[in-house]
Amino acid sequence: MRSGGGRAAKVLTPEQFDAVAGLVGADLAREDESAVAVAFGDFRVGMDELRETFGTITNGEAGGERG
């Protein structure tokens, strides 16, 4: 379920950058921006797939003995 499709992301939105800068300061936020953007992009892909899967799975019956 995890495709790693967020790998293309390299920059944060201004709001995201501000959130990171609020934690570590602007200099380190700039230094880490690319790595955080990639990690968050990967996380985002996983969460979007989770939202879809959860919606599907809760509409059906998961789990059961195979044989």
Partner 1 sequence: MANVVEAWELGIAEAALMIRGGELSSVELVDSVVARVAETEDFARAWAHVDVAGARIAARKADLELKCGSRLSLLGIPLGVKDVIDVSGMPAEGGSAALRGRIATKDAGAVRRLRQNGAIILGKLETHEFAFGQGTPPTRNPWDPRRYAGGSSVGSGVAVAVGSVPGALGTDTGGSVRNPACVNGLVGLKPTLSLVSGSGVLNVSHTLDHIGPLARNVEDCAALLGGMAEESALPRLRGPAALGGSSGGPPVRLGVDRAMWKTWGVTQGVIDVVERALDRLAALGFHIVELSLPELEMALPASLAISLSESAHHHRRMLRENPSRYLSGTRVMIETGALITTADVDLAHAVRDYLRSSLERSFQRAGIEALLSPTLPAIAPMAAAMSHELTADTGENSLSAALRMLSTANLTGMPALSVPCGLSAGQPVGLHLMGLAFSDATILHIARSYEEASPWRDMVPLHQLPSRDQQVSRAAEPGS
Does residue 19 sit in helix, strand or coil?
A: helix
Q: Which residue ranges make up the site for partner 1 (CB under 8 A)?
A: 1-4, 7, 12, 16, 19-20, 22-25, 28-29, 31-32, 35-36, 38-40, 42-43, 46-47, 49-51, 53-54, 57-58, 62-67
Which residues lie closer than 8 Å to 29 by C-beta, 6 or more apart?
17, 20, 21, 23
- As measured in angstroms, the least distance from the Cβ of 56 to partner 1 is 10
Q: Closest CB to partner 1 among 10 and 36?
A: 36
d(CA 43, CA 13): 16
Tell me the residue type at 4: G
- As measured in angstroms, the least distance from the Cβ of 45 to partner 1 is 9
